[in-house]
Amino acid sequence: MSSFTRIIAMRQRRRARAGESPAYRLGLGCSGLVGLVLAVGGILLALGYASLGRDLPSIEGLPALLEPTGSPLLQPTRLYDRSGEHLLLTLEHPATAGRQYLHIPQPGPAASLPDDALVSTSLITATLAAADPGFWQHPGFAIPGLQPTEHPTLAQRLAAEFLLENEPPSWRRGLRERLLAAQVTARFGRQQVLEWYLNSADYGHLAFGVDAAARLYLDKPAAQLSLAEAALLAAAGQSPDQNPLDNPQAALERQKLLIQEMLRLRWITPEAGIAAARQELALRPPDQATPGFILGELQPNLAPTFTSLALRQLESYQSLSRLARQGLKIITTLDYNLQTQSACAAQVQLARLSAAPTPTDCAAARLLPSLASPAELPPGDLKANLVVLDPQTGQVLALVSDPSSGLEALFLPEAPPGSLITPVIYLTAFTRGLSPASLLWDLPGGGASLADSSPQGDFHGPLRLRMALANDYLAPAQAVMTQIGARNVWRTAQQLGLVSTQAPFQPSETSLDSFPPLNLLKASQAFGIWANQGVLVGRAQPKTPGDPTQTAERLPALNPLFVLRIESPGGQLRQDWSSVQTRPILTPQLTYLLTHVLSDETARWPSLGHPNPLEIGRPAAAKIGATADGESNWTIGYTPERVTGVWLGLSGAQADLAGVQDSLPLEAGRTLPNAAAGLWHAVMNYASRDLAYQPWEVPAGISSLEVCDPSGLLPTTDCPNIVTEVFLAGNEPVQTDNLYRSLPVNRETGRLATIFTPPDLIDGRVYLIAPPEAEIWARRAGLPVPPDTYDVIPAELPSWEDAAMRQPAPFAVVRGQVSIYGTAGGQDFSSYRLQAGQGLNPQFWLLIGQDMARPVKDGLLGTWDTSEMNGLYAIQLLVVRRDQSVHRATVLVSVDNQPPEVEISYPLNGAQLDAAQSRLILQVEASDDLGLQSVTLYLDDTLLTTFIQPPYALSWGLQPGEHHLRAVATDQAGNTQEAAIDFTVNE
Residue closest to 984 by CA, chosen among 962, 959, 958:
962
How many Å is the maximal CA-CA distance in the chain?
A: 176
pLDDT of amino acid 23? 54
33 SS3 class: helix
Confidence at residue 408, expressed as pLDDT on a 0 to 100 scale: 45
Between the alpha carbon of residue 764 and those of residues 737, 752, 753, the distances in Å are 17, 10, 10
Half-sphere exposure of 248 (CA within 13 A, CB side): 11
pLDDT at 395: 96
Q: What Rg, from alpha-carbon coordinates, does the chain have?
A: 47
Q: What is the pLDDT of residue 374?
A: 56
pLDDT for residue 725: 97
The torsion angle over the Cα atoms of residues 967, 969, 970 and 975, rounded to 10 degrees, is -100
Give tens-digit pLDDT for 545-589: 444 444 444 567 899 999 999 998 878 888 898 888 999 999 999
Q: Which residue has the higher pLDDT, 876 or 322?
A: 876
What's the angle, vertex CA 622, arms to CA 616 and CA 627, rounded to 5?
A: 125
Q: How far apart are CA 125 and CA 973, in angstroms?
A: 116
What global pTM score does this model have?
0.75
> Who's near 688: CB < 8 A, 6+ residues apart?
616, 618, 639, 641, 642
- Look at residue 551 in the predicted model and tell me its pLDDT: 47
How does pLDDT run across 305-315, given as a tens digit for each residue?
899 899 989 98
DSSP per residue over 382-403, as a string?
-EEEEEEEETTTTEEEEEE--S
Are 493 and 481 in contact by the 8 Å Cβ rule? The answer is no
Q: Is the pLDDT of residue 654 over 50?
A: no
pLDDT value for 300: 56
**Among the listed ranges 98-102, 224-228, 698-702, 876-880, which one has the minimum average pLDDT value?**
98-102
304-308, 332-336, 613-617: least confident range: 304-308
Q: With the CA atoms of 544, 548, 552 and 555 taken in that order, what torsion angle do they form, in degrees rounded to the nearest 10?
A: -80
Amino acid at 845: W
Range with lowest mean pLDDT among 396-410, 595-609, 648-662: 648-662
The one-character DSSP state at 808 is S
Given this model, what pLDDT does residue 451 score? 35
pLDDT tens sequence across 736-769: 998 998 888 888 888 888 888 887 888 888 888 8
Q: In the beta sheet, which residues pair with residue 153? A: none
pLDDT given at position 230 = 92
CA–CA separation, 466 and 595 (whole Å): 11
Average pLDDT over the chain, rounded to an integer: 83
CA 851 vs CA 117, 826, 828, 856: distances in Å = 124, 16, 16, 13
Structure confidence by residue, pLDDT tens digits, 126-160: 999 999 999 999 998 887 766 666 788 998 888 88
3-state helix, strand, coil in the chain (%, to 5): 35, 25, 40
Q: Which amino acid is at 430?
A: F
- Other Cβ atoms less than 10 A from the Cβ of 472: the count is 22
The number of angstroms, rounded, from the C-alpha of 363 to the middle of its chain's C-alpha atoms is: 34
pLDDT at residue 629, rounded to an integer:
81
* β-bridge mates for residue 927, sequence order: 901
In the chain, % of residues over pLDDT 70: 83
At 289 the pLDDT is 43
Range in 2-6, 62-66, 439-443, 966-970 the model is least confident about: 2-6
Q: Which of 356-360, 377-381, 453-457 has the highest mean pLDDT?
A: 356-360
Q: What is the pLDDT of residues 403-433, one digit of tens each?
A: 544 444 456 788 999 999 999 999 999 999 9
Give the containing element (helix H, strand E) for 4. helix 3-19
pLDDT band at 24 (very low <50, low <70, confident <90, very high): very low
First to last CA, the chain: 140
Alpha carbon separation from 969 to 908, 910, 928, 939 (Å, rounded): 18, 22, 9, 15
% pLDDT > 90, the chain: 48
Closest-CA residue to 317 (of 69, 544, 579, 27): 544
Q: What's the whole-number mean pLDDT along residues 374-382?
A: 59
Q: Is pLDDT of 20 > 80?
A: no
Q: What's the rounded mean pLDDT across residues 342-361?
A: 83
pLDDT digits (tens, 9 = 90+) for 806-827: 999 988 999 999 999 999 998 8
Closest Cα to residue 955, out of 985, 925, 922? 922
Letter for the amino acid at 757? T
User: Among residues 577, 580, 591, 583, which one has the least CA distance to residue 554?
Assistant: 583
The phi and psi torsions of 450 (rounded to 5 degrees) equal: -75, -40
**pLDDT per position as a tens digit, 766-800:** 888 888 888 888 888 888 888 878 887 776 677 78
Q: How far is CA 819 from the centre of its chain?
A: 68
DSSP assignment letter at 378 = P
Q: Quote the CA–CA distance of 489 and 511 in Å, as a whole number.
A: 11
Phi, psi of 235 (to 5 degrees): -65, -40
**What local confidence, expressed as pLDDT, does residue 671 receive?**
80
pLDDT in tens, 282-319: 888 765 444 344 433 434 578 888 998 999 899 887 77
* CA dihedral for 240, 244, 248, 254, sign (positive or negative): positive
Vertex 712 angle, CA 710 and 713, to 5°: 120
325-360 b/e with 16+ CB inside 10 Å = b?
A: bbbbbbbbbbbbbbbbbbbbbbbbbbbbbbeeeeee
**pLDDT higher at 450 or 236:** 236
CB 535 within 8 A of CB 506: no
Distance CA 787, CA 753 (A): 10
208: which strand partners?
202
Note the pLDDT tens digit of each residue in 163-194. 887 787 777 888 888 898 899 999 999 999 99
What is the tens place of the pLDDT at every residue in 249-280?
Answer: 999 999 999 999 999 999 999 999 999 999 99
Instruction: List, as one string, the DSSP characters of 735-772.
Output: SBP-SEEEEEEETTT-SBP-TTS-GGGEEEEEEE---G
Task: Specify the pLDDT at position 143.
Answer: 78
In this prediction, residue 904 has a pLDDT band, given cuts at 50, 70 and 90, of very high
Select the more confidently predicted residue: 761 or 637: 637
Residues 6+ apart with CB under 8 A from 833: 847, 851, 852, 877, 878, 880
Identify the band that residue 39 occupies on the pLDDT scale cut at 50, 70 and 90. very low
